[in-house]
Amino acid sequence: MKVLVAVKRVIDYNVKIRVKPDHSDVDLTNVKMAMNPFCEIAVEEAVRLKEQGVASEIVAVTVGPKAAQEQLRTALALGADRAIHVETEARVESLAVAKLLKAVVDEEQPDLVILGKQAIDTDNNQTGQMLAALTGMPQGTFASKVDVKEGSVDVTREIDGGLQTVALTLPAVVTTDLRLNEPRYAKLPDIMKAKKKPLESKTPEALGVSVESGLELLGVETPAERKGGVKVGSVDELVEKLKTEAKVL
């Protein structure tokens, strides 16, 4: 079984973001970048499927600027067999990414596509669902368990208030939630080996996909800072203030 796993280059999750002075966007100059945490979980799941003998080949794919090849190399170091870079410097919205990934799916014909449920930069939580729609595949979003069977996959999903399990006919799209697995770290020899693994570059033009979007980013602002309040001296004082001042009890 062939598994396609999509990854995204985003700001490192430990970095405190800054909005540009002209409020046009978030400032990403000289900021540490990394693989989106949910994508790390997606790669890990693919690698585990291969270790279990379920997957025979793992293809990692990303859509993004030249530098996003770093994240593909990380995926290769973690266990992907080869990588595809759809190179664009443009600001690509989820729908365009889904269209580009569909073009890759059409070429690669994977049995399973695994993506992170959302990227921690734009927080959209859309691309996997959109890819599923465009390819006509069923979707198992927010997965906390993936169980591949003959011609189908059981996906346990984190839904509000609990878990739901669905059975999807393959090929299918799965998006990962936090509990699915705990990603490993790449080992140095694997990082060295990953440099020699095949990495193919494509362009949106070559894939015949327009990355234009109906969405326009008008501006970005910093949310109102929350001001610290007062320290209270005792439980009595706290309860009193919550009752009479804050009126929340």
Partner 1 sequence: MSILILAEQHDGELAAGTAHVVAAARAIGGDIDVLVAGEGVDAVAQAAAGLDGVSRVRVADDAVYAHQLAEPLAELLVALADDYTHVLAASSTTGKNVLPRLAALRDVAQISDILEVVGADTFKRPIYAGNAIATVRSSDPLKVITVRTTAFDAVADGGSAAIEPVSAEVSNPSSRFVGEELAQSDRPELGSAKIVISGGRGMGSGDNFKLLDGIADKLGAAIGASRAAVDAGFVPNDMQVGQTGKIVAPELYIAVGISGAIQHLAGMKDSKVIVAINKDEDAPIFQVADYGLVGDLFEILPALEQKL
105-164 positions binding partner 1, by CB under 8 A? 120-134, 136-139, 141-142, 154, 157-164
CA distances from 143 to 55, 125, 179, 184, 200 (A): 18, 13, 8, 18, 29
Site string for partner 1, 169-208 (x = CB under 8 A): x--x-----xx-----------------------------
Give the residue, chosen from 22, 52, 208, 231, that forms a contact with partner 1 under the rule CB under 8 A: 231
Region of 53-61, 81-89, 186-194, 232-240 interacting with partner 1 (CB under 8 A): 232-240
- What is the rounded distance in angstroms from the CA atom of residue 79 to the CA atom of residue 57? 10
Question: What would the two tokens of residue 180 be?
Answer: 């699915």
Binding residues for partner 1 restricted to 70-109, rule: CB under 8 A: 93-95, 98
- What is the rounded distance in angstroms from the CA atom of residue 125 to the CA atom of residue 82? 26
- What is the rounded distance in angstroms from the CA atom of residue 102 to the CA atom of residue 119? 18
Shortest CA distance to 43 belongs to which of 85, 10, 71? Answer: 71
CA distances from 235 to 108, 228, 243, 249 (A): 63, 19, 12, 14
Q: How far is the CB of 94 from partner 1 (least distance, A)?
A: 7
Number of residues that bind partner 1 (CB under 8 A): 77
Q: How far is the CB of 121 from partner 1 (least distance, A)?
A: 6
46 close to 181: Cβ distance less than 8 angstroms: no
- What is the rounded distance in angstroms from the CA atom of residue 33 to the CA atom of residue 59? 22
Q: How far is the CB of 1 from partner 1 (least distance, A)?
A: 17
Angle in degrees, CA 70, 74, 77, rounded to 5: 135
The answer to whether 24 contacts partner 1 (rule: CB under 8 A) is no
176 close to 143: Cβ distance less than 8 angstroms: yes
Q: How far is the CB of 2 from partner 1 (least distance, A)?
A: 19
Binding residues for partner 1 restricted to 25-44, rule: CB under 8 A: 26, 37
Q: How far is the CB of 55 from partner 1 (least distance, A)?
A: 21
Question: What would the two tokens of residue 156 be?
Answer: 């346990």
Q: Which is nearer to partner 1, 50 or 157 (CB)?
A: 157
Q: Which is nearer to partner 1, 55 or 172 (CB)?
A: 172
Strand partners, 139: 173
Give the residue, chosen from 22, 89, 150, 221, that forms a contact with partner 1 under the rule CB under 8 A: 221
Q: Which is nearer to partner 1, 188 or 235 (CB)?
A: 235
Q: How far is the CB of 86 from partner 1 (least distance, A)?
A: 17
Q: Which is nearer to partner 1, 40 or 81 (CB)?
A: 40
Looking at residue 179, the DSSP 8-state letter turns out to be G
Q: Which is nearer to partner 1, 90 or 242 (CB)?
A: 242
